[in-house]
């Protein structure tokens, strides 16, 4: 079956290993199958759900685009654009917002996590963020959406919204119900400081994550300081349920080296943590440093990046305008 792929990344700076292993690496793999139509979006409308400095936002949009290209996305093979350049996303979000139910959105755990204790002060945009995400996906009839595990609940909501729209407007299969594409193992990369928290751009501690643009010394230092525990390196048979930090580091090794967890455990069984950490740093330097270098090079030519986004937006706009016009007709506009 030919797949239509849609996914996005927020231009909120500090693109990290979690974004890469949970999402972008998968984007590149999907692009390599010629039968797939891939659309990858820098979701700048999503990023303003929390306060952004306008000049930094523009630069972060370029940086996320550079990270896409440096990781292997090719504008000749995939549509690459920024969300705010295609106005159908905002229009679609309004229509779908009127179909969505408050109760559905109230159950979204990401809002609860991001809004924290003071929900009253969170933006309305942060609350309705998953509706905009549904519009992003449904406008392109995406069949598959590659995301990290943290976005699974939003994808389920998107499916509910699509079905309700189709029912409400008597338009069976008009909005295509998409499937999530989530890696089977290590779909959620955790913080280097606390194995129970997700690795995140907005974590105040830079030592909680490996950024794609970190240099060699910083990578070595961050892995050296990454939390482990006092027990020895686990063997193949050891259960790691109660050792989240160790599981996370082994998981990172496994994802980067394309080996399964048991193989990684066997390779390091009986060795000490410092030797494992040295190996992990070397692997990160081998896989991530070249991406960081490319990002920095690409950022030297802002016009080139802006041009890629502009051309991508023209292609995306053609597809999205058709769909939003049909959607408006169904609604009665």
Strand-pair partners of 81: 41
User: Quick check: 245 and 197 in contact, CB under 8 A?
Assistant: no
Cα distance between residue 321 and residue 48, in whole Å: 23
Closer of 63 and 91 to ligand AQP (Cβ): 63
The binder of ligand AQP chosen from 176, 188, 287, 294 (CB under 6 A): 188
CA distance readout (Å), 90 to 56, 160, 191, 220 = 22, 19, 33, 43
**Pick 11 or 92: Cβ nearer ligand AQP:** 11
Q: Is 201 a catalytic residue?
A: yes
To the nearest whole angstrom, how small is the minimum distance from the Cβ of residue 167 to ligand AQP? Answer: 28
Q: Which of residues 202-221 bind ligand AQP (CB under 6 A)?
A: 202
Catalytic one among 77, 114, 152, 315?
114
Q: Rule CB under 6 A: is residue 251 a binding residue for ligand AQP?
A: no
Nearest residue (beta carbon) to ligand AQP? 22
Give the other-Cβ count within 10 Å of 254's Cβ.
20
Q: How far is residue 151's CA from residue 100's CA, in Å, rounded to a whole number?
A: 18
The site map against ligand AQP for 142-181 (x = CB under 6 A) is -----xx-xx------------------------------
Residues 143, 43: Cα–Cα separation, whole Å: 19
The CB-of-143 to ligand AQP minimum distance in angstroms stands at 17
Judged by beta carbon, residue 51 or residue 172, the one nearer ligand AQP is 51
Q: Give, as ranges, the residues between 89 and 148 that touch ligand AQP (CB under 6 A).
A: 147-148
Smaller CB distance to ligand AQP: residue 113 or 168? Answer: 113
**How many other C-beta atoms lie within 10 A of the C-beta of residue 39?**
23
Q: How far is the CB of 145 from ligand AQP (least distance, A)?
A: 9
User: Judged by CB under 6 A, does residue 199 bind ligand AQP?
Assistant: yes
* Among 31-39, 200-208, 260-268, 302-310, the segment contacting ligand AQP (CB under 6 A): 200-208
Least distance to ligand AQP, CB of residue 22, Å: 2
User: CA–CA separation, 127 vs 106, rounded Å?
Assistant: 8
Q: Provide the mask over 14-43, with x wherever binding to ligand AQP is found by CB under 6 A and - wherever it is not.
A: ----xx--xx--------------------
193 binds ligand AQP (CB under 6 A): no
CA distances from 329 to 55, 94, 105, 106, 332 (A): 38, 15, 26, 30, 5
Minimum CB separation of residue 209 from ligand AQP in Å reads 8
- Is 201 a residue that touches ligand AQP (CB under 6 A)? yes
Choose the stretch contacting ligand AQP; rule: CB under 6 A; options: 115-123, 198-206, 233-241, 255-263. 198-206
Which sequence positions are flagged as catalytic? Answer: 114, 198, 201
Residues near ligand AQP, by CB under 6 A = 9-10, 12, 18-19, 22-23, 147-148, 150-151, 188-189, 198-202
């Amino acid at each position: 079956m030919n797949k239509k792929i849609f996914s996005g990344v927020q231009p909120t700076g500090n693109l990290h290993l979690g974004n890469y292993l949970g999402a972008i690496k998968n984007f590149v793999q999907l692009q390599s199958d010629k039968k797939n139509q891939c659309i990858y979006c820098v979701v700048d409308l999503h990023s303003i759900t929390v306060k952004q400095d306008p000049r930094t936002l523009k630069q972060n949009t370029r940086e996320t685009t550079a990270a896409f290209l440096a990781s292997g996305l090719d504008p000749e093979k995939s549509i690459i654009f920024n969300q705010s350049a295609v106005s159908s996303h905002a229009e679609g979000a309004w229509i779908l917002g009127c179909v969505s139910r408050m109760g559905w959105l109230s159950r979204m755990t990401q809002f609860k996590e991001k809004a924290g204790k003071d929900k009253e002060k969170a933006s309305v945009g942060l609350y309705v963020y998953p509706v905009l995400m549904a519009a992003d996906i449904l406008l392109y009839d995406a069949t598959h959406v590659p995301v990290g595990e943290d976005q699974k609940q939003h994808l389920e909501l998107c499916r509910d919204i699509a079905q309700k729209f189709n029912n409400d407007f008597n338009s069976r299969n008009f909005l295509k119900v998409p499937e999530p594409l989530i890696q089977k193992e290590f779909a959620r990369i955790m913080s280097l400081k606390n194995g129970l928290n997700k690795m995140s751009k907005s974590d105040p501690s830079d030592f909680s994550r490996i950024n794609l643009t970190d240099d060699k010394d910083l990578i070595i230092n961050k892995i050296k300081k990454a939390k482990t525990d006092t027990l020895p390196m686990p063997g193949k048979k050891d259960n790691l349920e109660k050792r989240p930090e160790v599981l996370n580091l082994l998981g990172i090794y496994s994802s980067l080296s394309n080996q399964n967890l048991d193989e990684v455990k066997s390779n390091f069984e009986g060795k000490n943590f410092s030797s494992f950490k040295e190996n992990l740093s070397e692997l990160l330097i081998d896989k991530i440093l070249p991406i960081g270098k490319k990002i920095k090079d690409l950022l030297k030519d802002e016009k080139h990046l802006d041009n890629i986004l502009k051309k991508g937006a023209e292609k995306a706009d053609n597809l999205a305008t058709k769909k939003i016009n049909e959607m408006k007709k169904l609604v009665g506009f």
